[in-house]
A = this chain, B = another copy of it.
Amino acid sequence: MSSSSPVLPSEIEAILNRGDLIAAVAQDHQTKEVLMVAWMNREALNLTLATSRVTYWSRSRNELWEKGLTSGHTQRLISLSYDCDGDAVLLMVDQSGAACHTGERTCFHRGIELEK
């Protein structure tokens, strides 16, 4: 990774500076399938931008989590955009294997029936 952290947009800085996490949506850059939603703190976001290896912040384990480091199901970052209020980022990724720990391609593999 680089020796200095990237300059983040002010909207994202505002969220991080108040101690909140950023919601991160990972989308397959080819199929456009939404693969998962996870969370990033400043270090996770900076590492992801610096290395192109997508790294999240695990809220359950309270630690950085480089996607695929143990499973091999890595996410290579292709591009990153952020939303108008800076509390969410959209990651276009090259996903190796399954994004979901269940072995499914996407974490969103179950639906709820609409009432009409």
Contact = CB atoms under 8 A, between A and B. Distances in A.
Interface string A10-47: 00000000000001010100011110110000000000
A50 interface: yes
Contacts of A23: 23, 37
Copies in the complex: 2
Contacts of A108: 81-83, 88-90
A84 B112 contact: no
Interface of A: 1-2, 6, 8-9, 23, 25, 27, 31-34, 36-37, 49-50, 52, 77, 79-85, 87-90, 100-102, 104, 107-116
The 10 lowest CB-CB distance pairs between A and B, nearest first, are: A32-B32, A83-B107, A37-B88, A81-B108, A90-B108, A81-B111, A84-B107, A80-B112, A50-B115, A83-B108
